[in-house]
Chains A and B, each alone.
Chain A
Amino acid sequence: MDINNRGDEQLELLKVSNLEVHFAARQGFLSSLLNKQPKQVRAVDGLDFSIRKGEILCLAGESGSGKTTTGKAILRLVEPTGGEVCFKGEDVIAFNRQRLRRFRQEAQIIFQDPYESLNPRQTVFSTVAEPLEVNRICKNNEQIEERVIEALTDAGLSNPQELFLRYPHELSGGQRQRLAIAGALVVKPDFIMADEPVSMLDLSIRAGILKLMVDLRDQKGISYLFITHDLSLAWLVSDRIAIMYLGKIVELGSADTVIRQPLHPYTRALVSVIPVLKRVMPSDKKLLQGETPDPVNIPTGCRFHPRCPEAQSRCREEEPLYREVMPGHYGACHFI
């Protein structure tokens, strides 16, 4: 379904402006003696984007580009060092403990590895019931049980009662990820941050989990921030795609235009190596040279210039502005 056909009730659920997460880099004993300024790891370095109600926004990029940190900063699992996060018009960063607790029921997270994100000593029931118990959402245990069954069913696990006393290691990979999704659904969130939710799963199971997530969006209007390194996956599930490079968004637009008419040289390089796409739109493979630079020493000017096939002298000196190139299509490059 295309987001653009959805009429006018597209409220902005989440708005991120100029989000920054800098960490102090680990410092040697000697340099701390010499009183050197600790270096900064600029993991997320000024992001702007918004997610509408019922929208799936995909954050794509290589590993080390700061996708996961962005997601965690939005949920305040990592404290942002600058910028603003607005959720339903409220400033998330200013939330006090009580408001943060309520926010945790509205915004949930699904982790990459369903083998690691579930407590091995917690049963299925206890895993799903925990958010309800922690936040004292239900009045009695019958209600908890009802909600748990509902969440497990919504997550596509049939016969939930039979699973109640199972431990995660007694479930299959797909079941585990469904369980993790049930654990997020049980508090009825409006927003889910899904951090590479299928990358650890077998190919045969992926489609089921992805379909489940899209179905949940269609039925319950849940918005997603979908983090992935796999552009074909992003194209498949998301309404809009944001391409991240070294802590910045280099391109953002509707999924179709970003994939079919990429503006930024980085996006073009990524798109050119999607295997499925090569059959649809044959083009030359553009293999990028080198690795993502260290976020401690970010290159001057355009941070992509050392690897950019089209870099010119201007790119070394001047940082390109992130601007709306076409309606709804943003990019950060001097030559677009």
Chain B
Amino acid sequence: MSASQYRIVQSSGASRIAAALGLIVLALLVLAPYWAGRADLRLLGEVLLYLSLASLWNLLAGYAGLVSVGQQAFVGLGGYALFGLTMFGGLHPVLAVLVAGVIGGLVAMPVAALIFRLRGAYFAIGTWVMAEVFRLSAAQVSALGGGSGTSLPTPVVQSLADGRDAREALSYWLALAMALLALAVVYGVLRSRNGLALTAIRDNELAARSLGIDIWRTKFTVYVIVGALTAATGALLFLQKLRISPDAAFSANDWTAFVIFIVVIGGIGTVEGPIIGVIVFFLLRETLADLGTTYLIILGMFAIGVMLLAPKGLWGMVRARSDIQLFPLRRKVVAKPKD
């Protein structure tokens, strides 16, 4: 048989069913402002923004091996960029979110050049220190309320859309668009040549270098993309909250600890993991939040349980039993049917 008798397939039966179901879920989500109450809509918006953060962190840590515990630096940067650009630059909030993303990407470049000198645990600590530097810097900006923070002025909020319902709907749709964009970018990167390179680096750095992969540049690209999208997500998070302070914007707990929890219990290093994780996390939060601190104890025990019993997360457990992929990344060589 000659090579021309083979072809490459990427989709599978499962992925086609998943795509069909995904479209139905997407339609329901797009229409949410018409069927969900105000509180539910806010919750859904938050879920979607967490999905964005989790997918991005998964690309960073699960695929590029860059275990950052300082992504709150970019969440906070995006939030503060939104406030600064709308309050002093006179930008429309939606435009400000886009510019916040660009700023996030630009800031990620020198940050990467600096912290890429660190390896493993030192890299993680470096990212955290960087986030603290950002937090302390933000507290120095008196125009944005210094250490106690500030609220988004009413005219800025009103410029978003007429009426509270319309504003909340728009804010929700922006969150939905952000989550879709993050998923699309993550999936797109992984399917591209860069994605192959990332997986190769993860498997064997020596062979990767010898086959022409510039490891530094590959990781740098991922870090900058993730920085940009994380900042845009941060801007949207604080567009929902309408209030910002250094402690809330650069919270390691909210923007990194919970995000890591989501990715790890869902399944790190899989596109599906963060989706599963974010659903589980919010189910736990919404059903147990009334328990106060007990809720955090249960959350911690749940995380420990998953790590012990299913170290590759819930989706990893599924993958161990069947080679199912909802977002197919495998390229299978199949023989063309004889005609």
Query: Do chains A and B interact in one complex?
Result: no
